[in-house]
């Protein structure tokens, strides 16, 4: 199935780029960036974490066996670190926002440095069939990681990306790519049945340099396989986009056909200071709102503990999440975190 247009008017398109649906004041100007960085330096932020980001040895034997199990594949998620997760569902292995490099930066000697090694090294991954890229910021779209996936045995995985990023991949020699607009879908014929991939709206922005701000699209992904429905939010501020998504999928996720998402990957870190970050990055309380808005059965908190990007301590997000989960009356296993390298099995749909 090729990407198909939704009938919704393209109000998020603008000359030379894109805009958010509900808030077009997401990006910050240079004076605001300098104010933030000066204040953080003056106050000694971010504080040191109280404990290192937890890490476990990955179960590579299981992951590789599961990758070739076809219809017998067990739906699973493995946290690689930051927004990178290995999800096995529908007979395929997919990666979200692959980032394995030492720095989240265009420069090898400067920029945020990785604080914990990837949970699974690129060379230890099972064959990756599908890569979902939410947007082009350096901590989500990494050149060396993309090149490593292109060079995997058996050839490049399929990359599904927002509008404007297929050319970037083509310049790196990757032709196996599909780009989507919000609400568009692409169908994959998997070993366990058809898998539909949809790009959903998010409230964020894009840029890899000084002159390309908002030039390419951003978003989240909804992935529909017979055994699992997955939602990956990418980077986002809180907005009505998530109740819109639930309404958009109401017929597809009726209770009698399995209900809402079996797993959501939701960001819980990089949120301080709120005056600077609130329109572009959710905090734990807002992540819980998204979990509820999209009717997720369970959610994994990602986008924390790997790179120091903002003013909160690396280990603050999971503590904040635990508090917000309790405040919302959720069970611990409804919205959880994993150690880097840890795998969680997901009940079949």
- CATH no. for residue 226? 3.60.15.10
Q: What's the confidence (pLDDT) of residue 57?
A: 98
**How far apart are the C-alpha atoms of 70 and 77, rounded to whole Å?**
16
User: Is residue 41, in this structure, part of any structural domain at all?
Assistant: no
Q: What's the confidence (pLDDT) of residue 25?
A: 82
Q: What is the mean pLDDT of residues 13-28?
A: 92
User: Is residue 12, in this structure, part of any structural domain at all?
Assistant: no
Q: What's the confidence (pLDDT) of residue 198?
A: 98
pLDDT at 67 > cutoff 50: yes
**Residue range 150-166, pLDDT digits in tens:** 999 999 999 999 999 99
Q: What is the mean pLDDT of residues 279-298?
A: 98
Percentage of the chain beyond pLDDT 70 is 97
User: Is residue 207, in this structure, part of any structural domain at all?
Assistant: yes
**Residue range 109-133, pLDDT digits in tens:** 999 999 999 999 999 999 999 999 9
Sorting pLDDT into bands at 50, 70 and 90, what band is 9? low
Q: What's the confidence (pLDDT) of residue 259?
A: 96
Total structural domains within the chain: 1
Q: What is the mean pLDDT of residues 88-112?
A: 96
User: Is residue 280, in this structure, part of any structural domain at all?
Assistant: yes
Q: What's the confidence (pLDDT) of residue 1?
A: 39
Q: What's the confidence (pLDDT) of residue 24?
A: 83
Q: What is the mean pLDDT of residues 250-266?
A: 97
User: Is residue 295, in this structure, part of any structural domain at all?
Assistant: yes
Q: What's the confidence (pLDDT) of residue 7?
A: 43
- The CA distances from residue 30 to 27, 216, 270, in Å, are 10, 21, 19
**Residue range 270-285, pLDDT digits in tens:** 999 999 999 999 999 9
| Average pLDDT value for the chain | 95
Are 321 and 268 in contact, with CB atoms under 8 Å apart?
yes
**Residue range 210-248, pLDDT digits in tens:** 999 999 999 999 999 999 999 999 999 999 999 999 999
User: Is residue 63, in this structure, part of any structural domain at all?
Assistant: yes
CA nearest neighbour of 247 among 293, 197, 201, 309: 293
Spell out the SS3 assignment of the chain: CCCCCCCCCCCCEECCEECCCCCCCCCCCHHHHHHHHHHHHHHCCCCCCCCCCCECCCCHHHHHHHHCCHHHCCCEEEEEECCEEEEEECCEEEEECCCCCCECCCCCCCCCEECCCCCCCHHHCCCCCEEECCCCCCCCCCHHHHHHHHCCCCCCCEEEEECCCHHHHHHCCCCCEEEECCCCEEEEEECCEEEEEEEECCECCCCCCCCCCCCCCCCEEEEEECCEEEEECCCCECCCHHHHHHHHCCCCCCHHHCCCCCEEEEECCCCCCHHHHCCCCCCHHHHHHHHHHCCCCCEEEECCCCECCCCCCCCHHHHHHHHHHHHCCCCHHHEECCCECCEEECCCC
pTM of this prediction? 0.95
Sorting pLDDT into bands at 50, 70 and 90, what band is 2? very low
Domain that includes residue 84, residue range: 57-345
User: Is residue 243, in this structure, part of any structural domain at all?
Assistant: yes
**How far apart are the C-alpha atoms of 19 and 13, rounded to whole Å?**
6
User: Is residue 111, in this structure, part of any structural domain at all?
Assistant: yes
Q: What is the mean pLDDT of residues 87-116?
A: 96
Q: What's the confidence (pLDDT) of residue 55?
A: 98
Q: What's the confidence (pLDDT) of residue 330?
A: 97
pLDDT at 4 > cutoff 80: no
């Amino acid at each position: 199935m090729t990407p198909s247009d939704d009938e919704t008017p393209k109000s998020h398109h603008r000359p030379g780029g894109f805009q958010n649906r509900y808030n077009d004041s997401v990006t910050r100007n240079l004076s605001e960036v300098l104010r933030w960085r000066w204040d953080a330096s003056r106050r000694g932020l971010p504080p040191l974490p109280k404990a290192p980001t937890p890490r476990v040895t990955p179960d590579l034997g299981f992951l590789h066996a599961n990758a070739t199990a076809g219809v017998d594949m067990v739906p699973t998620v493995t946290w690689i670190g930051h927004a990178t997760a290995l999800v096995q569902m529908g007979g395929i292995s997919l990666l979200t926002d692959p980032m394995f490099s030492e720095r989240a930066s265009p420069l090898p000697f400067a920029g945020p440095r990785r604080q914990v090694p990837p949970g699974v090294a690129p060379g230890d991954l099972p064959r990756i069939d599908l890569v979902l890229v939410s947007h082009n910021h350096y901590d989500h779209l990494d050149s060396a990681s993309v090149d490593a996936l292109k060079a995997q045995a058996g050839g490049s995985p399929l990359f599904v990306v927002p509008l404007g990023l297929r050319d970037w991949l083509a310049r790196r020699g990757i032709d196996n790519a599909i780009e989507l607009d919000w609400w568009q879908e692409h169908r994959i014929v998997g070993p366990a049945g058809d898998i539909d991939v949809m790009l959903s709206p998010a409230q964020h922005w894009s840029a890899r340099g000084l002159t390309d701000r908002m030039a390419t699209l951003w978003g989240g992904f909804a992935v529909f396989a017979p055994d699992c429905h997955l939602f990956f939010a990418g980077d986002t501020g809180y907005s009505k986009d998530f109740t819109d998504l639930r309404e958009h999928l109401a017929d597809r996720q009726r209770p009698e056909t399995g209900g809402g998402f079996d797993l959501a990957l939701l960001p819980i870190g990089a949120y301080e200071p709120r005056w600077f970050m609130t329109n572009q990055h959710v905090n734990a309380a807002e992540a819980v709102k998204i979990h509820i808005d999209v009717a997720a059965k369970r959610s994994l908190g990602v986008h924390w503990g790997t790179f120091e990007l903002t003013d909160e301590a690396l280990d603050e997000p999971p503590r904040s999440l635990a508090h917000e989960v309790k405040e919302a009356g959720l069970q611990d296993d409804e919205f959880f975190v994993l150690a880097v390298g840890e795998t969680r099995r997901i009940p079949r749909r």
